[in-house]
Amino acid sequence: MTREIEFKSDITVNAIQSMGGDHMVVAAAKVSTCGNDALDFTDPERANENRGLINYLMKHRHGTPFEHAAMTFFVHAPIFVWREWHRHRIGFSYNEESGRYKTLDPIFYLPKYGRPMMKVEGWKPGRPKFLKCEDDDIHVSLEDNLRRSYKISYEMYERNLELGVDPGLARACLPVGIYSGCWVTCNPRSLMAFLSLRTHEPNATAVSYPLHEMELAARACEETLEVGYPLTYQAFNANGRVAP
Amino acid sequence: MTREIEFKSDITVNAIQSMGGDHMVVAAAKVSTCGNDALDFTDPERANENRGLINYLMKHRHGTPFEHAAMTFFVHAPIFVWREWHRHRIGFSYNEESGRYKTLDPIFYLPKYGRPMMKVEGWKPGRPKFLKCEDDDIHVSLEDNLRRSYKISYEMYERNLELGVDPGLARACLPVGIYSGCWVTCNPRSLMAFLSLRTHEPNATAVSYPLHEMELAARACEETLEVGYPLTYQAFNANGRVAP
Amino acid sequence: MTREIEFKSDITVNAIQSMGGDHMVVAAAKVSTCGNDALDFTDPERANENRGLINYLMKHRHGTPFEHAAMTFFVHAPIFVWREWHRHRIGFSYNEESGRYKTLDPIFYLPKYGRPMMKVEGWKPGRPKFLKCEDDDIHVSLEDNLRRSYKISYEMYERNLELGVDPGLARACLPVGIYSGCWVTCNPRSLMAFLSLRTHEPNATAVSYPLHEMELAARACEETLEVGYPLTYQAFNANGRVAP
Amino acid sequence: MTREIEFKSDITVNAIQSMGGDHMVVAAAKVSTCGNDALDFTDPERANENRGLINYLMKHRHGTPFEHAAMTFFVHAPIFVWREWHRHRIGFSYNEESGRYKTLDPIFYLPKYGRPMMKVEGWKPGRPKFLKCEDDDIHVSLEDNLRRSYKISYEMYERNLELGVDPGLARACLPVGIYSGCWVTCNPRSLMAFLSLRTHEPNATAVSYPLHEMELAARACEETLEVGYPLTYQAFNANGRVAP
């Protein structure tokens, strides 16, 4: 093996650029009733006085005003997270690291101690909830299994590349636990649709049971929404986290 | 009639906000081959050195890197223009003035002298090209017909509103020549798809024959692309104005 | 005027073709847990035994299994209805009669007696509910205003066409109350999103206040869902008419 | 290891259901010029007389008439193929086998002898073309590497499952060469967009360089288009395989 394997337990989400804010949600909604004068509401100072409007839009599912904004993230996550994320088609744009065009780096996912993973009694596949693992041996065994498999996979990948074959074929043995980087652009509406399905909130109108690592990624994006669109975010929570 | 009618011949397009630029197209594309290091390319200074990459993406129709950017316009245009514009579904967000929620203003479209409108000989509906009208009488008659009809329509609209009925019904007599304001958010990729179908360029790979007023609107948006994404715009033209 | 004006109060919705049914919703969902064996569930006889699964998908907003089906409608409706309908972008395909390519027929919308249209006391624009008009004079006046305006508009349209000008310009005086035909293709998921916003059900989780004529169209489509996807339809209603 | 590993070199594509055909493309297009009378063209017998219209639509990129149709496939392919396929967002619906809800079967991809895989001289990542491998040793080594890695990966996966942990975590060591089943629903327009990017045709207007296994899948879908929409398919090829 030529390269040393690295293990990582985080999902890294970096905000790269953004456009808009609560004031743009307000202004876009105001065009219905004010036409051209909606432009007066693009002043960020005026967002707060229209808190009620944002709540009304959310509650009655007037979704389009939440689309006149955008944000781009650079995310580093295991492929098994991307596999779920990329299923979000509408209002999401992606550009990902490619195993056909570059040698993938030997960075692999290992769960942190404390990652909930033990099936509860009466566990049902439809509502996959897990408890923290109290038995260290289980965690150690899991980690050993993953490490061992990851190591062989990457070694075989390197050997395949040395044969000079198509890198798109050489990678077939790489596991879904390997990390991959991706640019993600979305808007507040598509982000809320994503959050409603990829975070677990017992009080949500429709409770979701996402994969733990998927939720880690979603929660990191959620912070950006909370900071950049405080009124929108508050209304999202106040209305059962149903995307408008 | 209580309000005075206004006539207008322009389509007004105002850029409200934007995010991204050629450098973000480059950086998003670079993630395929550079992963995390793609972030080095988000520096606007580095766009120019990657002119060739942008051209390559356009030529080979790698469209996604052109989606990590966004722009919002406020557009004032006749309803018959909106009827066509709103058919662009992907990568377009709209919020429009509503006849259900506000009284529509009496602003109506009249063509400028010189608006090409006379059918050429051998004219085919599939390729609707028109010549300028050399006969002033025709233009005057057309204008008279439109003014007369617009006036009655708006008068009846006002009478309907006075009856206290649902404004969404009262407006049924308003013509498609009345102006309406709308917020439009798109990205460079969706904008190029729009431009390729809604502008007439004899040298384009697939020549389009748009409605004159639709093209006026598209050309105004095109200026924003030209100024904000000069390399993307150049590559779009150099590759037959086929959206990637 | 060369052609006689016709008035119409209905929205006509004809189902042209369809694919799928409750059994395909079930089978598509079963691929998650059964892989290849999901094909066993494509037998229409087996839908009923999976009523609970369909309800589960709806409740937990697992939307994708409702996309493996399709239906096409031919709809004849006034332009003011199309203006709203065409704002549904995702999972909807449209081909509409074109004022640029054909002479539009003189068929115009008049409301039936009984169409709710009088503002209730304390009426708010955000929740536009209307009462039936008890005063015949109001209905007669409204109808007179519309007829008069429609007539002039169509007469001026015909005169414009006689001038030989671009039909796309000649139509600028035609009102949004004129009828237009359109093909609409959607799937059960996109149809439910449409129904949730375009029908008024007091018991829905998010109550909508659609335009009366828009709801007429939506209700006609709803019948197709009810007949073709009885279990899906039942689950949609049982879960607050929130599209999954 | 409790289950025996299986190897497979094919991508299986089974058509499950379909709606529409060339006649529906014609009829949907005819609504522009014929309105209600477009219904006369829904007779399959009449498609052939409108071959020229289909070619015109394709050439001038009038894409919407190709959306009033649908087809569903069940596809069995390695995850590295799904990773590319799922990036097609518009006009594509997916339901895939889930590692969270079921134990994934030990079926893995091995390339056939003859799968082009050797980089040509002057090979560039932007246009990844490969030659067949003339050296048996290389093929044997590649296969050995893959087999060895696949075996360990699946063994560790089974051990993880035995620990009773979250199956969504246990699978992290499974490789992208493992097979997964998925339902795919699309329409002729979205399928042509897919084919234009995922097949290599030297004479196409924009030549694509897809991954070999991705192209195998695309070619299998292409047969369905060829058989079910012969005129559309012919026009697609005659116009440089640019999706309309």
* Minimal Cβ distance to A118: which of D79, D150, D165: D165
Token pair in block for residue B44: 């606007």
**Does the pLDDT at position B58 exceed 80?**
yes
Q: How confident is the model at residue B122, as a pLDDT? A: 74
Contact A102 B74 (CB under 8 A): no
Nearest-10 crossing angle of helices A230-238, A188-198: 40
**Does the pLDDT at position C221 exceed 60?**
yes
Distance between CA atoms of residues A106 and A152, nearest Å: 11
Residue C175: φ, ψ to 5° = -85, 160
Residue D239: φ, ψ to 5° = -115, 35
Contact D60 B206 (CB under 8 A): yes
ipTM: 0.96
Token pair in block for residue A83: 């596999």
Residues of B with Cβ-Cβ distance to C176 under 8 angstroms: 79, 171-172, 174-176
Who wins on pLDDT, A69 or C133? A69
**Does the pLDDT at position B140 exceed 70?**
yes
CATH architecture of the domain with residue range B6-16+71-226: 2-Layer Sandwich (3.30)
- Nearest chain B residue (CA) to A25: B95
C-beta separation of B166 from C117 below 8 A: yes
What is the residue type of C41?
Answer: F
Which of the other chains make 3 or more beta carbon contacts under 8 angstroms with chain D? A, B, C
Dihedral angle at the C-alpha atoms of A170, A172, A174, A175, nearest 10 degrees?
Answer: 180
**Does the pLDDT at position A14 exceed 90?**
yes
What is the average pLDDT across C89-113? 97
Name the burial class of residue C39, with classes exposed (0-12), middle (13-18) and buried (19+) by CB atoms within 10 angstroms of its CB.
middle
Mean pLDDT over the full length of chain A? 95
Lowest mean per-residue pLDDT among A217-231, B39-53, C89-103: B39-53
Q: How confident is the model at residue B1, as a pLDDT? A: 58
Contact D169 A83 (CB under 8 A): no
Give the Cβ contact number of residue D12 at 10 Å: 16
Confidence of residue C152 (pLDDT cuts 50, 70, 90): very high
* Minimal Cβ distance to D95: which of C65, C94, C180: C65
3-state secondary structure of C142: helix
What is the average pLDDT across C207-217? 96
Distance between CA atoms of residues B49 and A37, nearest Å: 42
Distance from CA of A56 to the nearest CA of C (A): 9
**Does the pLDDT at position A124 exceed 80?**
no
Element (H, E) at B220: helix B212-228
Distance between CA atoms of residues A200 and C19, nearest Å: 35
3-state secondary structure of A34: helix
Distance between CA atoms of residues D141 and D136, nearest Å: 9
Look at residues B182, B216, B185, B184 and name the one whose alpha carbon lies nearest to residue B199.
B216
C-beta separation of D100 from A211 below 8 A: yes
Confidence of residue D1 (pLDDT cuts 50, 70, 90): low
pLDDT digits (tens, 9 = 90+) for D148-188: 999 999 999 999 999 999 999 999 999 999 999 999 999 99
Residues of B with Cβ-Cβ distance to A29 under 8 angstroms: 95
Q: Where are the beta strands (DSSP E) in chain D?
A: 6-8, 12-19, 70-78, 92-96, 107-109, 118-119, 130-131, 179-186
- Nearest chain A residue (CA) to D154: A149
Which of the other chains make 3 or more beta carbon contacts under 8 angstroms with chain B? A, C, D
Which residue has 């006849």 as its token pair? B99
Distance between CA atoms of residues A70 and A184, nearest Å: 10
**Does the pLDDT at position A108 exceed 90?**
yes
Token pair in block for residue B72: 């919002």
Buried b (16+ CB within 10 A) or exposed e, A120-156: eeeeeeeebebeebeeeebbebbeebbbbbbebbbbb
Contact D61 B197 (CB under 8 A): yes
Q: How confident is the model at residue C129, as a pLDDT? A: 84
Q: How confident is the model at residue C1, as a pLDDT? A: 58
**Does the pLDDT at position A170 exceed 90?**
yes
Who wins on pLDDT, A75 or A1? A75
Question: For chain D, how many residues are written?
Answer: 244
Rg (CA), chain A: 21
Q: How confident is the model at residue A1, as a pLDDT? A: 57
3-state secondary structure of C127: coil
Give the D-side interface with C, CB within 8 Å: 14, 16-20, 24, 27-29, 31-36, 38-39, 42, 64-65, 67-70, 72, 74, 76, 93-98, 101-102, 105, 180-183, 185, 187
Q: From the centroid of its chain, how far is CA D77?
A: 9
Distance from CA of C135 to the nearest CA of B (A): 11
**Does the pLDDT at position B128 exceed 90?**
no
3-state secondary structure of A207: coil
Element (H, E) at B71: strand B70-78
What is the residue type of B15?
Answer: A
Distance between CA atoms of residues B28 and B32, nearest Å: 8
Distance from CA of C57 to the nearest CA of B (A): 26
D198 labelled catalytic:
yes
Look at residues A21, A101, A2, A127 and name the one whose alpha carbon lies nearest to residue A65.
A21
Confidence of residue B120 (pLDDT cuts 50, 70, 90): confident
Look at residues B31, B32, B54 and name the one whose alpha carbon lies nearest to residue B41.
B31
Distance between CA atoms of residues A238 and A204, nearest Å: 9
pLDDT digits (tens, 9 = 90+) for A197-236: 999 999 999 999 999 999 999 999 999 999 999 999 999 9
Look at residues B159, B163, B181 and name the one whose alpha carbon lies nearest to residue B104.
B181
Write out the DSSP string of A50-89.
GHHHHHHHHHTT--GGGGS-EEEEEEEEEHHHHHHHTT--
Q: How confident is the model at residue D167, as a pLDDT? A: 96
pLDDT digits (tens, 9 = 90+) for D114-153: 999 998 777 777 777 899 999 999 999 999 999 999 999 9
Token pair in block for residue C190: 């996109």
Q: Where are the alpha helices (DSSP H) in chain C?
A: 22-34, 51-59, 79-85, 136-162, 167-170, 188-198, 212-228, 230-238
Q: How confident is the model at residue C132, as a pLDDT? A: 94
Element (H, E) at A218: helix A212-228
Residue D8: φ, ψ to 5° = -145, 145
C-beta separation of D64 from D40 below 8 A: no
**Does the pLDDT at position C119 exceed 70?**
yes
Buried b (16+ CB within 10 A) or exposed e, B50-78: bbebbbbbbbbbbbbbbbbbbbbbbbbbb
Q: From the centroid of its chain, how far is CA A47?
A: 27
Residue D189: φ, ψ to 5° = -70, -50
Mean pLDDT over the full length of chain D? 95
Give the B-side interface with A, CB within 8 Å: 14, 16-20, 24, 27-29, 31-36, 38-39, 42, 64-65, 67-70, 72, 74, 76, 93-98, 101-102, 105, 180-183, 185, 187
Distance between CA atoms of residues C11 and C1, nearest Å: 26
- Return the percentage of chain A with pLDDT > 90, whole number: 91
Lowest mean per-residue pLDDT among B64-68, D25-29, D124-128, D146-150: D124-128
CA distances from B50 to B47, B115, B231, B232, C137 (A): 5, 40, 9, 11, 71
What is the average pLDDT across D18-44? 95
Distance from CA of A36 to the nearest CA of D (A): 32
**Does the pLDDT at position C6 exceed 60?**
yes
- Nearest chain C residue (CA) to A64: C87
Mean pLDDT over the full length of chain B? 95
What is the average pLDDT across D223-232? 97
Contact B83 C78 (CB under 8 A): no
Buried b (16+ CB within 10 A) or exposed e, D134-158: eeeebbebbeebbbbbbebbbbbbb
Buried b (16+ CB within 10 A) or exposed e, D92-106: bbbbbbbbbebebbb
